[in-house]
Chains A and B, each alone.
Chain A
Amino acid sequence: MNAWNFQELKETASQTGGPYVHIGLLPKQANIEVFDNNFNNQLVQEQTQGERIRLEGQVFDGLGLPLRDVLIEIWQADANGIYPSQADTQGKSVDPNFLGWGRTGADFQTGFWHFNTIKPGAVPGRNGTRQAPHIALVIFARGINIGLHTRVYFDDEADANAKDPILNGIEWAPRRQTLIAKRIEQDGEIVYRFDIRIQGEDETVFFDI
Chain B
Amino acid sequence: MSQLILGAYAQRNTDDHPPAYTPGYKTSVLRSPKNALISIAETLTEVTAPQFSGDIFGAKDNDLILNYAKDGLPIGERVIVHGYVRDQFGRPVKNALLEVWQANASGRYRHPNDQFIGAMDPNFGGCGRMLTDANGYYVFRTIKPGPYPWRNRINEWRPAHIHFSLIADGWAQRLISQFYFEGDTLIDSCPILKTIPSEEQRRALIALEDKSNFIESDSRCYRFDITLRGRRATYFENNLT
Q: Tell me whether A and B are bound partners.
A: yes
Once A23-B127, A75-B171 are accepted as A-B contacts, the answer to whether A87 and B47 lie under 8 Å apart by CB is yes
Q: Which one, B72-80, B199-207, B211-219, is touching chain A?
A: B199-207
Contacts of B32 in A (CB 8 A): 143-145, 198-199
User: What separation, in Å, do the CA atoms of A203 and B38 have in the docked complex?
Assistant: 13
Contacts of B51 in A (CB 8 A): 84-86
- The closest CB in chain B to the CB of A127 belongs to B239
Which residue from B12, B56, B89 sits with its C-beta under 8 Å from A208? B12
Contacts of A123 in B (CB 8 A): 43-45
Contacts of A200 in B (CB 8 A): 34
Contact indicator per residue, chain B 198-241, by CB within 8 Å of chain A (1) or not (0): 00111011000000000000000000001111000000000111
- The closest CB in chain A to the CB of B30 belongs to A62
Interface assignment of A3: CB less than 8 Å from any CB of chain B:
no
Query: Shortest CB–CB separation between residue A33 and chain B, in angstroms?
Result: 8
Contacts of A89 in B (CB 8 A): 44, 240-241
Interface set, chain A 17-57, CB cutoff 8 A to B: 17-25, 27, 30-32, 34-37
- The closest CB in chain A to the CB of B59 belongs to A36
Counted as pairs of residues, one from A and one from B, with CB atoms less than 8 Å apart, the total is 275
Asked if A12 contacts B50 (CB within 8 A), the reply is no
Asked if B90 contacts A9 (CB within 8 A), the reply is yes
Which residue from B19, B44, B56, B89 sits with its C-beta under 8 Å from A124? B44
- The closest CB in chain B to the CB of A65 belongs to B30
Contacts of B45 in A (CB 8 A): 75, 77, 83, 123, 131, 134, 136, 151
User: What separation, in Å, do the CA atoms of A77 and B125 have in the docked complex?
Assistant: 34
Contacts of A61 in B (CB 8 A): 30-31
Interface assignment of A111: CB less than 8 Å from any CB of chain B:
no
Central interface residue in A35, A125, A145, by most chain B CB within 10 Å = A145
Contacts of A203 in B (CB 8 A): 33-35
User: What separation, in Å, do the CA atoms of A207 and B19 have in the docked complex?
Assistant: 14
Asked if B126 contacts A23 (CB within 8 A), the reply is yes
Which residue from B28, B67, B174 sits with its C-beta under 8 Å from A34? B67
Contacts of A207 in B (CB 8 A): 37-40
Interface assignment of B68: CB less than 8 Å from any CB of chain A:
yes
Asked if A209 contacts B30 (CB within 8 A), the reply is no
Asked if A87 contacts B170 (CB within 8 A), the reply is yes
Interface assignment of B110: CB less than 8 Å from any CB of chain A:
yes
Contacts of A151 in B (CB 8 A): 45
Query: Shortest CB–CB separation between residue B170 and chain A, in angstroms?
Result: 6
User: What separation, in Å, do the CA atoms of A121 and B12 have in the docked complex?
Assistant: 28
Interface residues, chain B, CB within 8 Å of chain A?
6, 11-14, 16-20, 22, 25, 27-35, 37-51, 56-58, 61, 67-68, 86-90, 99-102, 109-114, 125-129, 163-165, 167, 169-172, 174-178, 192-193, 195-196, 200-202, 204-205, 226-229, 239-241
Known: A16-B25, A85-B49, A90-B241. 6 other contacts (CB 8 A): A10-B200, A15-B193, A27-B125, A61-B30, A83-B44, A145-B32
Some 17 contacts from A to B, beta carbons below 8 A apart, are A10-B201, A14-B175, A24-B128, A24-B129, A27-B125, A32-B68, A85-B50, A88-B44, A101-B167, A124-B43, A131-B43, A136-B171, A142-B31, A145-B25, A175-B35, A198-B30, A205-B38
